[in-house]
């Protein structure tokens, strides 16, 4: 225990330096933003299905409002939900616990990161209410939509958008340094890098990828601000600039960013699948190496987002090749996960259901990703709903399915109780069914040629056929279902937090160090200094009579 | 930030699995992120300059001697910070704090010279919007200038802390940061001033 | 790590080398603007940065792991550089590269 004195409410729950409190702050901020992002999706899906009718009785939606809503939906879901919940939230909660540390390496820096992030959230929310509305140039903010006021008709919205994103980057840069240092440097005695739980590996690599890719975009974002506010011409061809430059800088960060949020999700999955199949993680070293390879490859795939934006044709082939290549490490993950579950004594609790659901959904997302990554196919389907469906089949499992798996699994370490299993299974069923209902039709809409940035599809004959309208409505109904399916979760979350069944230390009989703490862990985490005696996933070991051997358990007879 | 780092020594978690203290490892990652931020700009600038060979004529309008003077100022200040670190290492905290204040003084000189240059260029019409070269010039030197200011603030905080008796480990970390500011300038100087 | 003066040249020697390199590069830029002159100025800049990193920040005494951070950073930047050449410098159909 590093603090024995009584702490005030403010220092305990608001300006806390305790990594678990900060993790909860990140998660709750992120989940609240998810509600905002989800409602935005509900609104513009309504517009797409019934474009000529008032949306929820509020009036006909103008195209620029539609643009602002999609822009903010994308921005919020990637930067204000996936990043804070998966990387910062779970990273903060689990990395110190899993390596056996009593807090992050730099607790005060950690608190600073959260409050910078909180500030960025406020700035983003404010940007909805300034004259001209929120940013409407797409979440990618390509010039000229972003670097001139005339192009998107939004002035302060974009300035605040850039400011908010920049603050958010600063927060996660500092947070990332903290996670990397904690994961590498605070391991307990006996725990080599090859004894680290998979989640720590994935999160550390993700933070490194983030740290190495975000820098050029920070410069690029400043150039946007200078262009639009002071009239410089970094992205203006008339003044000798180049709009392609921003696309390159954006995707040099933007594509690795996809892996920054994917890797912690895969880490969560590894832990959940392994503990609930009562089997050793299949191919631990192979998975770790594939994470490292994926981290390296993620820097050489970015231009596959730009096959139709006038890039040099000589770039298309190498980037296509690398894009297809980077699917290999993730195929390795999925195969290893399936092999882990194979012939295990599976416990189908809610966390496990979500984890299995992830594998199924992510497979669809991954396979369609290979189609998109091939330049010849991409030129046909680029910017259609096929691409939208593809990245929602990857990002929704990452951002939500993996998060849910993690929350159900680690709820004891967050709030000291177990979540209700019945409500959890209803939540899973609703989410899984309606997720597919929402996004499967979008593949077909994309093949029909539905461009992703039009507010009124019925303006085009080929999207006004009864088939297209039916698919459109199906997708929208799916969205409503998906949103409603979250109500049991919200209820379950709060009722379990306050009235849930109290959890013991290790309710899932898992093997990593975080299960050797109280539920929830007190300030300082562990009762005594920890030591690791073996690798992280010793289930059903041979020669001993127990079902599992945690890392913190001293060596047994016969081991 | 350096204060946040310096406190870790009392905690039981101060043990580190690699040979490095947490603070120094964190600093290396931080420096690497700074290198990426400036490196991204430098890469972009070099590429644009290779495309626009006429920028050599624009670069001739920067004041080489002022840039050279500023390089000298930063190199010297870097040397002073090294001496401050050595003093802190030997336990002479008072001297370390004094040397940090000297470094802050060099930072001020740097900013004054830079302000003179900006003034000289702006009255000649070389404003940020004059053309893309000047856009890059002001962007890169401006961002670097902000880092100089940030480094000066950090050094004042660390120096005051050391005078009050804090752990002088912050001297080392603020020095690492200052060296990176110096290195960035080592590259900006030939890129923007020389080679015209 | 912190024993900065215990091996290799002293910080004073390094400082003098840095100042000499600075004057040489200014000298070169005053007498010539040829390609070779520009190249040597950049080589000197890289050399100066190398000295500062290794002898002022003491990278030379760090474990291999830290060196790989810095090398990884530089490789990342070169990937960015190479990937952007075709679009920003040698624009297709515009330049003979």
Do C7 and C43 belong together in one domain? Answer: yes
Structure confidence by residue, pLDDT tens digits, A354-380: 999 999 999 999 999 999 998 889 999
C70 and C95 co-located in one domain: yes
pLDDT value of residue A56: 83
Answer yes or no: do C27 and C49 share one domain: yes
pLDDT band at C94 (very low <50, low <70, confident <90, very high): low
Taking residue A346's Cβ as centre, other Cβ atoms within 10 Å add up to 15
Return the pLDDT at A302. 94
Q: Once rounded to an integer, what is the mean pLDDT over residues B38-64? A: 90
Q: Residue A35, Cβ neighbours under 10 Å: how many?
A: 14
Mean local confidence (pLDDT), A230-238: 90
CATH match for B19-192 among 3.40.1010.10, 3.30.2290.10, 3.40.50.300, 1.20.120.80: 1.20.120.80
pLDDT at residue B43, rounded to an integer: 95
Are C8 and C21 in a shared domain?
yes
In this prediction, residue C2 carries a pLDDT of 44
Residue among A253, A219, A222, A223 at smallest CA distance from A239? A223
pLDDT for residue B2 is more than 60: no
Q: How far apart are CA B177 and CA B172, in angstroms?
A: 9
Q: Is-contact A252 A295, C-beta < 8 A?
A: no
Q: Which residues of A touch C73 (CB under 8 A)?
A: 212
> Which of A386-390, A450-454, B152-156 is predicted least confidently?
A450-454
Q: What is the pLDDT of residue A414?
A: 94
Q: What is the count of residue pairs from A and C with beta carbons less than 8 Å apart?
A: 38
In 3D space, the residue among A489, A492, A539 whose CA is nearest the CA of residue A511 turns out to be A539
Can you tell me the distance from the alpha carbon of B179 to that of A469, in angstroms, rounded to the nearest whole number? 62
To the nearest whole number, what is the mean pLDDT of chain A?
93
Q: Cα dist. B144→B49, B78, B119, B141 in Å?
A: 19, 15, 17, 5
Residues 6+ apart with CB under 8 A from A293: A328, A329
CA distance C97 to chain B (A): 11
Chain B residue with minimum CA distance to C91: B51
A–B interface: beta-carbon pairs under 8 A: 132
Render pLDDT for A392-441 as a digit per residue (tens, 0 to 9). Answer: 999 999 999 999 999 999 999 999 999 999 999 999 999 999 999 999 99
Give the pLDDT score at A55.
Answer: 86
For residues C73 and C56, membership in a common domain is answered with no
Which of B47, B74, B103 is the best substitution to test chain C (most C C-beta atoms within 10 A)? Answer: B47
Taking the C-alpha atoms of residue C19 and residue B31, their distance in angstroms, rounded to an integer, is 24
Indicate whether this complex's ipTM tops 0.85.
yes
Residues from chain B that touch C77, judged by Cβ atoms under 8 A, are 35-36, 39-40, 43
Q: Report how far residue A509's alpha carbon sits from residue A316's, in angstroms, rounded to the nearest whole number.
A: 49
Tell which wins on pLDDT, B165 or A212.
A212
Which residues in chain A have their CB less than 8 angstroms from residue C84's CB? 245, 248
In the block, tokens 């870790």 appear at B8
CA distance B81 to chain A (A): 24
Percent pLDDT > 70 in chain A is 98
Which of C51, C57, C76 to substitute to test the interface with B, most B CBs within 10 Å?
C57
Range name among A85-89, A321-325, B29-33, B166-170 with the lowest pLDDT average: B166-170
* A184 closest CB neighbour out of B11, B17, B43: B17
Chain Cα centroid distance, residue B113: 15
From B134, B136, B141, B89, select the one nearest B115 (Cα to Cα).
B141
Tell me phi and psi for residue A512, to 5 degrees: -90, 170
B146 C-beta neighbours (distance < 10 Å), count: 10
- Cβ of B190 within 8 Å of Cβ of C42? The answer is yes
What are the extents of the domains in chain B? 19-192
Q: Do B28 and C5 touch (CB under 8 A)?
A: no
Residues 6 or more apart whose CB falls under 8 angstroms from that of A44 comprise: A61, A66, A69, A70, A73
Nearest to A541 by CA among A550, A531, A552: A550
- Is A479 within 8 Å of A438 (Cβ atoms)? yes
Share of chain A above pLDDT 90, in %: 81
Instruction: Tell whether the model's pLDDT for residue C83 goes beyond 50.
Output: yes
Number of Cα atoms under 13 Å in the Cβ half of residue A248: 27
Does B37 contact A245 at a Cβ distance shorter than 8 Å?
no
DSSP SS3 for A451: strand
Task: Choose among A222, A305, A224: nearest CA to A257.
Answer: A305
Residue C5's pLDDT band (cuts 50, 70, 90):
very low
Q: Name every residue whose Cβ is closer than 8 Å to that of residue A409 and which is 6 or more positions away in sequence.
A: A268, A271, A272, A275, A351, A508
Beta strands in A280-396 (DSSP E): none
Question: CB pairs under 8 A, 24+ apart, for B62-67?
Answer: B62/B117, B62/B121, B62/B137, B62/B192, B62/B193, B62/B196, B63/B117, B63/B120, B63/B193, B64/B193, B64/B194, B64/C26, B64/C29, B64/C30, B66/B113, B66/B116, B66/B117, B67/B117, B67/B189, B67/B192, B67/B193, B67/B194
| Full residue range of the structural domain in which residue C77 is found | 63-97
What is residue A417's three-state secondary structure? strand
- Reported as a single tens digit per residue, the pLDDT across C18-73 is 999 999 999 998 888 788 888 999 999 999 999 999 999 999 989 999 999 999 99
Whether C48 and C90 map to the same domain: the answer is no
Query: Of A448, A497, A495, whose CA–CA distance to A472 is shortest?
Result: A448
Instruction: Inform me whether the C-beta atom of residue C23 falls under 8 Å from chain A C-beta atoms.
Output: no
From chain A, the residues in CB contact with C90 under 8 A are 312
**CB atoms B40 and A220 under 8 Å:** yes
Residue B8 in contact with residue B14, Cβ under 8 Å? yes
* Residue C77 and residue C55 share a domain: no
Of A211, A189, A176, nearest in space to A88 by CA: A176
CB contact under 8 A, C86 and A212: no
B-contacting chains (≥3 CB pairs under 8 Å): A, C
A91-99 and A19-49 helices, crossing angle to 10°: 140
Predicted local distance difference test score (pLDDT) of residue A305: 92
Residue A130 has pLDDT above 60, yes or no: yes
| Omega before residue B51 within 30° of 0, cis | no
Say if the Cβ atoms of B18 and A185 lie within 8 Å: yes
Give B95-145 pLDDT, tens digit per residue: 999 999 999 999 999 999 999 999 999 999 999 888 899 999 999 999 999
- Per the CB < 8 Å rule, is A252 touching C86? no
Whether the per-residue pLDDT at C6 is higher than 60: the answer is no
Q: What is the pLDDT of residue B165?
A: 85
pLDDT of residue B15: 58
- Model confidence at A542, in pLDDT bands (50, 70, 90)? confident
Kindly indicate the confidence band of residue B179, based on its pLDDT and cuts at 50, 70 and 90: very high
- Whether B190 contacts B70, CB under 8 Å: no
Q: Is a pLDDT exceeding 70 seen at residue B67?
A: yes
Q: Check whether C92 has a pLDDT greater than 80.
A: no
Number of domains in chain C: 2
Using a CB-CB cut-off of 8 Å, the residues of chain A touching B132 are 232-234, 239-241
Residues of C whose CB is below 8 A from A252: 80, 83
Integer Cα distance of A198 and A284 in angstroms: 8
Distance CA A489, CA A495 (A): 10
Non-local (6+) Cβ contacts of C36 within 8 A are: none
Please state the separation of Cα A483 from the chain's center in Å. Answer: 18
pLDDT at A115 over 90: yes
For chain B, the distance separating the N- and C-terminal CA atoms, rounded to the nearest angstrom, is 40
Q: Could you tell me how many helices (H) and strands (E) chain B has, helices first? A: 7, 0
Q: What is the DSSP string of A17-56?
A: --HHHHHHHHHHHHHHHHHHHHHHHHHHHHHHHSTTS-GG
Domains of chain A and any CATH numbers: 16-522 (1.20.210.10)
Determine, for residues B51 and C66 on separate chains, whether the beta-carbon distance falls below 8 Å: no
Residue pair A396/A447 in contact (Cβ under 8 Å)? The answer is no
- Strand A538-539 to strand A548-549: parallel, antiparallel, or no bridges (unpaired)? antiparallel
Name the DSSP letter for residue A102: S
Asked if residue C12 and residue C51 are part of one domain, the reply reads: yes
Instruction: Kindly state whether residues C28 and C39 are assigned to the same domain.
Output: yes
**Nearest alpha carbon to residue B6 among A312, A219, A109, C51:** A109
Based on the fold, state whether residues C3 and C40 are members of the same structural domain. yes
Residue A451 phi, psi dihedral angles, 5° rounding: -70, 145
DSSP A299: G
End-to-end CA distance of chain A: 33
CA–CA distance, A62 with B163 (Å, rounded to integer) = 62
Could you give the 3-state DSSP secondary structure of residue A538? strand
Q: Taking the mean position of all CA atoms in its chain, how far away is CA A190?
A: 32
Query: Does residue C51 share a domain with residue C22?
Result: yes
User: What span, in angstroms and rounded, lies between the C-alpha atoms of A27 and A87?
Assistant: 10
On whether both C37 and C68 belong to a single domain, the answer is: no
């Amino acid at each position: 225990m590093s603090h024995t004195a009584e702490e005030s409410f403010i220092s305990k729950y608001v300006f806390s330096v305790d990594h678990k409190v900060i993790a909860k702050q990140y998660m709750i901020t992120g989940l609240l933003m998810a509600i905002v992002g989800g409602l935005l999706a509900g609104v513009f899906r309504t517009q797409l299905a019934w474009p000529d009718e008032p949306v929820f009785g509020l009036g006909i939606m103008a195209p620029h409002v539609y643009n602002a809503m999609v822009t903010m939906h994308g921005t919020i879901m990637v930067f204000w939900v996936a990043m804070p919940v998966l990387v910062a939230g779970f990273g903060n909660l689990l990395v110190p616990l899993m390596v056996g540390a009593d807090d992050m390496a730099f607790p005060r820096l950690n608190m600073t990161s959260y409050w910078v992030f909180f500030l960025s959230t406020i700035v983003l929310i404010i940007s909805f209410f300034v004259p001209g509305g929120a940013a409407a140039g797409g979440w990618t903010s390509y010039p000229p939509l972003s670097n001139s006021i005339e192009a998107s008709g939004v002035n302060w919205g974009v300035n605040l958008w850039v400011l908010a994103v920049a603050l958010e980057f600063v927060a996660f840069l500092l947070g990332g340094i903290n996670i990397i240092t904690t994961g590498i440097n605070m391991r307990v005695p006996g725990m080599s890098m090859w004894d680290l739980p998979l989640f720590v590996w994935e999160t550390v690599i993700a933070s490194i990828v983030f740290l190495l890719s975000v820098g050029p975009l920070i410069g690029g974002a400043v150039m946007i601000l200078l262009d639009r506010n002071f009239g410089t011409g970094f992205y203006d061809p008339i003044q000798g600039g180049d709009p392609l430059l921003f696309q390159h800088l954006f995707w040099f960060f933007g594509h690795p960013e996809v892996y920054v949020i994917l890797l912690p999700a895969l880490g969560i999955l590894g832990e959940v699948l392994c503990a609930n199949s009562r089997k050793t993680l299949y191919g631990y070293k192979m998975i770790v190496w594939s994470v490292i390879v994926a981290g390296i490859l993620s820097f050489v795939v970015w231009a596959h987002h730009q096959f139709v934006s006038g890039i040099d044709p000589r770039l298309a082939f190498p980037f296509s090749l690398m894009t297809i290549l980077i699917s290999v490490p993730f195929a390795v993950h999925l195969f290893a996960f399936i092999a882990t579950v194979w012939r295990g004594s599976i416990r189908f609790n809610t966390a496990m259901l979500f984890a299995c659901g992830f594998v199924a959904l992510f497979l669809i997302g991954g396979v369609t990703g290979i189609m998109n990554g091939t330049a010849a196919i991409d030129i046909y389907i680029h910017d259609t709903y096929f691409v939208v469906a593809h990245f929602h089949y990857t990002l929704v499992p990452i951002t939500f399915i993996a998060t849910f798996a993690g929350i159900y699994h680690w709820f004891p370490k967050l709030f000291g109780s177990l979540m209700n299993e019945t409500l959890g299974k209803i939540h899973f069923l609703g989410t899984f069914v309606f997720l597919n209902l929402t996004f499967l039709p979008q593949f077909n809409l994309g093949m029909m040629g539905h461009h992703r940035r039009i507010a009124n599809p019925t303006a085009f004959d080929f999207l006004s056929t009864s088939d297209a309208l039916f698919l459109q409505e199906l997708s929208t109904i799916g969205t409503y279902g998906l949103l409603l399916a979250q109500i049991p979760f919200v209820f379950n979350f709060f009722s379990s937090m306050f009235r849930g069944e109290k959890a013991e230390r290790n309710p899932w009989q898992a093997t990593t160090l975080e299960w050797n703490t109280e539920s929830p862990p007190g300030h300082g985490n562990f009762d005594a200094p920890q030591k690791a005696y073996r690798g992280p996933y010793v289930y059903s070991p041979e020669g001993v009579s127990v079902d599992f051997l945690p890392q913190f358990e001293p060596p047994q007879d016969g081991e | 930030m350096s204060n946040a780092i310096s406190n870790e020594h009392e905690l039981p978690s101060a043990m580190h699995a690699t040979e490095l203290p947490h603070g120094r490892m964190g600093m290396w990652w931080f420096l690497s992120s700074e290198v990426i931020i400036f490196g991204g700009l430098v890469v972009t600038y070099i590429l644009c300059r290779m495309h626009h060979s006429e920028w050599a004529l624009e670069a001739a309008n920067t004041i080489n001697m002022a840039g050279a003077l500023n390089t000298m100022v930063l190199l010297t200040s870097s040397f002073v910070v090294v001496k401050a670190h050595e003093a802190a290492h030997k336990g002479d905290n008072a001297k370390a704090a004094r040397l940090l204040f000297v470094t802050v003084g060099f930072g001020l000189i740097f900013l004054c010279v830079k302000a003179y240059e900006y003034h000289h260029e702006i009255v000649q019409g070389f404003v940020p919007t004059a053309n893309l070269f000047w856009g890059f010039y002001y962007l890169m030197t401006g961002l670097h200038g902000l880092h100089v200011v940030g480094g000066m603030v950090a050094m004042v905080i660390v120096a005051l802390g050391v005078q009050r008796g804090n752990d002088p480990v912050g001297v080392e970390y603020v020095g690492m940061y200052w060296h990176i500011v110096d290195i960035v300038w080592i590259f900006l100087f030939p890129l923007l001033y020389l080679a015209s | 790590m912190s024993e900065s003066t215990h091996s290799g040249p002293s910080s004073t020697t390094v400082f003098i080398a840095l100042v000499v390199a600075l004057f040489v590069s200014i000298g070169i830029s005053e007498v010539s603007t040829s390609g070779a002159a520009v190249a040597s100025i950049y080589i000197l800049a890289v050399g100066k940065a190398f000295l500062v990193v290794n002898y002022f920040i003491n990278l030379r005494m760090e474990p291999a792991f830290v060196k790989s951070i810095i090398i990884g950073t530089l490789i990342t930047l070169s990937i960015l550089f190479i990937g952007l050449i075709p679009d920003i410098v040698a624009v297709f159909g515009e330049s003979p590269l």
